[in-house]
Amino acid sequence: MFHISNASLWRSKVRAFSFHFGCSFAIAGLAALLVFGLWYSYPFGEISGGRELFLLIVGVDVALGPLITLAVFNPSKSRREKILDFSLIGLLQMGALVYGLWAVALARPVHVVFEYDRLRVVHAVDIPAELLDRAPADLKSLPLTGPTYLALRPMRANEQQDMMTAAFGGLWLSARPELWQPYAAASLAILQAGKPVSELIQRFPSQQQAILNAVSGTGRPVEGLVYLPVVARKDAFWTAVLDRQEAKVLAYLPIDSF
């Protein structure tokens, strides 16, 4: 083992830290493509809190490995010792990243459900696993490529009391798979619940330009659009802009329109 000065030691440590940080940042970039390209496409990264959760988990992971490298790296170590150090750090960091992505996947939005007078974003973790078999045959699997649009069928008389009690306990109606039906099946009810976007402009004059920009982006005249409030987790309230003819969601606005 040879002697090196403190200055040389710290230069070597910083180089090792920088290299490890660059590699970690590149891997985090690939993870971000997965998360925001598939699971949390705009605007669900904001509506569902995916951006904050991802940044927290990946930020810790990106910092964790390089900081451990900074602490343990020593150029005077043997090649075998360096390989062992980097292997253990890499395994620790990869394990943390995989666990973090698993947590992000569990929290991902899977459906946007018309809940009689609003849209609700439902996340994988919201749906009790034991109830999923009650979903219609083509809706038993939860999507991995972003949320799909569904609607709730009318509740039967013998279901109302139990389901409403469960809803007050935190199990939202939209998280009850037995109530799901295709979005198009409820298009008339959706349009009846929707309100003219012109009314939204009157209600929120300070947001007029943002609303008009969203209207312009739809390619529809304001008279051809309606809106519905959107509910997600953490008391996040947004507004969806829909086509007046087909009930298709065309845009989202960060406005609480309840």
pLDDT digits (tens, 9 = 90+) for 156-172: 888 888 888 888 888 88
In the structure encoding, which two tokens stand for residue 28, read together? 């985090």
Containing structural domain, residue 131: 111-253
d(C-alpha 111, C-alpha 165), whole Å = 22
- CB-CB contact of 44 with 109 (8 Å): yes
* One domain, residues 206 and 79: no
* One domain, residues 122 and 217: yes
* One domain, residues 68 and 82: yes
Q: Above 60 in pLDDT, residue 109?
A: yes
d(C-alpha 35, C-alpha 12), whole Å = 34
pLDDT in tens, 18-35: 988 898 889 888 888 888
Sequential DSSP letters for 77-104: S-HHHHHHHHHHHHHHHHHHHHHHHHHH
Residue 258 lies in a domain: no
* One domain, residues 116 and 222: yes
**Which residues, 6+ apart, have CB-to-CB distance to 19 below 8 Å?**
none
Q: Looking at residue 149, what is its pLDDT?
A: 97
Q: Looking at residue 5, what is its pLDDT?
A: 66
Give the other-Cβ count within 10 Å of 187's Cβ.
17
Q: How confident is the model at residue 82 (pLDDT cuts 50, 70, 90)?
A: confident
* One domain, residues 68 and 163: no
Pick from 106, 127, 145: which residue ends a domain? 106
Start-to-end Cα distance in the chain: 70
Pick from 53, 74, 106: which residue ends a domain? 106
Q: Which amino acid is at 82?
A: K
Residue 183 lies in a domain: yes
Q: Looking at residue 78, what is its pLDDT?
A: 86
Q: Which amino acid is at 62?
A: V
Rg from Cα positions in the chain? 25
Residue 134 lies in a domain: yes
* One domain, residues 88 and 131: no
* One domain, residues 49 and 100: yes
The torsion angle over the Cα atoms of residues 94, 145, 192 and 169, rounded to 10 degrees, is: -40
Tell me the mean pLDDT in the region 96-112. 90
Pick from 82, 106, 130: which residue ends a domain? 106
d(C-alpha 238, C-alpha 258), whole Å = 9
170 vs 200: which has the higher pLDDT: 200
* One domain, residues 15 and 88: yes
Q: How confident is the model at residue 1 (pLDDT cuts 50, 70, 90)?
A: very low
Number of domains in the chain: 2
* One domain, residues 170 and 63: no
Of 35, 183, 173, 167, nearest in space to 115 by CA: 173
Mean pLDDT of the chain: 89
Q: Above 50 in pLDDT, residue 197?
A: yes
Q: Above 70 in pLDDT, residue 225?
A: yes
* One domain, residues 16 and 68: yes
* One domain, residues 72 and 136: no
